[in-house]
């Protein structure tokens, strides 16, 4: 865009523009630093605070499973009987 002001970038030019930037940014050092910053490697269990997990509370599967298992459901009465025949 600096070389050709006023021209529109089309979908056909996106791969080449992406490739040149990606090849400059993607490196082993960038990947390693990404793992360090997130606490993945070396493992840092304190990288996130408890407050940062609050948004996951509605999808907490363990709580859902406990709620469902507390409710008695007789599945045999709701399942139709299947008759299998050989073809």
Domain boundaries, the chain: 14-70
Is the pLDDT at 78 greater than 60? The verdict is no
What Å distances lie between residue 2 and 15, 22, 23, 61, CA to CA? Answer: 17, 18, 19, 50
Contact 35, 41 (CB under 8 A): yes
And the tokens for 2? 């600096």
Statement: residue 51 has pLDDT above 60: yes
Confidence label for 12 from pLDDT (cuts 50, 70 and 90):
very high
For the chain, the farthest-separated pair of C-alpha atoms sits apart, in whole angstroms, at: 72
Whole-number average pLDDT of the chain: 77
């Amino acid at each position: 865009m600096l070389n050709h002001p006023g021209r529109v970038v089309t979908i056909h030019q996106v791969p080449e523009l992406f490739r040149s930037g990606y090849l400059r940014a993607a490196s082993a050092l960038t990947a390693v630093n990404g793992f360090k910053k997130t606490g993945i490697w070396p493992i840092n269990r304190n990288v996130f605070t408890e407050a940062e997990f609050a948004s996951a509370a509605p999808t907490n599967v363990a709580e859902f499973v406990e709620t469902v298992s507390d409710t008695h459901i007789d599945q045999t009465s709701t399942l139709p009987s299947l008759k299998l025949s050989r073809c």
